[in-house]
Amino acid sequence: MAFSYDPFRDLDTLTERMLSRASDVGQSMRSMPVDLFRSGDHYVLRCDLPGADPGSVDVGVDGRTLTIRAQRSAQPEDVEWLAQERPTGTFVRQLTLGRGLDLDRIEATYADGVLSLSLPVAEEAKPRRIPIAVGGSSGQPTVEAPGAASAT
């Protein structure tokens, strides 16, 4: 049985793995990670923007599209870099918002490299109790069932 041995095959495989991992790390660093949760009658969206210039952070709504944009300035070029893993430039994230949100009352704060948005639920989308009428249509008075709240 004859074997053909390529001494560079293992090196090529190792190099390919290292480059693909480096590419994956680069992609994850260039993204804008977010957390989204509901708290009572509003949603909270938190975006990590470490090192972003606070004056460059911009949040806008166009139709149902929420756009978050931030800029991280380039580092000095007159230095000898030993490692440079923090990406610079413009970071953009767009999210499509549902119809049950009050887009006119969105609030945003930026502190410690985290952008926090409060997205309130629209009044018409909030859960509510429906009153139950008791009685017939024969002219008898209508009485609300105990525990039923009026709709607001």
Does 21-122 carry CATH code 3.30.1330.10? no
Cβ distance 72 to 83 under 8 Å? no
Q: Concatenated DSSP letters for 83-132?
A: ---S--EEEEEEEEPPTTB-GGG-EEEEETTEEEEEEEBPGGGS------
Tokens 């680069």 belong to 26
Confirm if 75 and 140 have CB atoms less than 8 A apart: no
User: pLDDT-based confidence at 9, cuts 50/70/90?
Assistant: low
Burial group, residue 47, by CB count within 10 angstroms (0-12, 13-18, 19+): buried
Question: Which residues 6+ apart lie within 8 Å of 102 measured at CB?
Answer: 120, 121, 122, 123
The DSSP output letter for 84 is -
Domain locations in the chain as residue ranges? 21-122
What digits encode the pLDDT tens for the residues 102-127? Answer: 999 999 999 999 999 999 988 776 77
Looking at residue 82, its pLDDT comes to 86
Is the full-model pTM beyond 0.95? no
Q: Which residue has the tokens 């800029």?
A: 71
Q: Is the pLDDT of residue 61 over 90?
A: yes
**What is the Cα–Cα distance from 54 to 63, expressed in whole angstroms?**
25
pLDDT in tens, 21-45: 554 444 444 568 999 999 988 999 9
Q: Work out the number of other CB atoms within 10 angstroms of the CB of residue 61.
A: 14
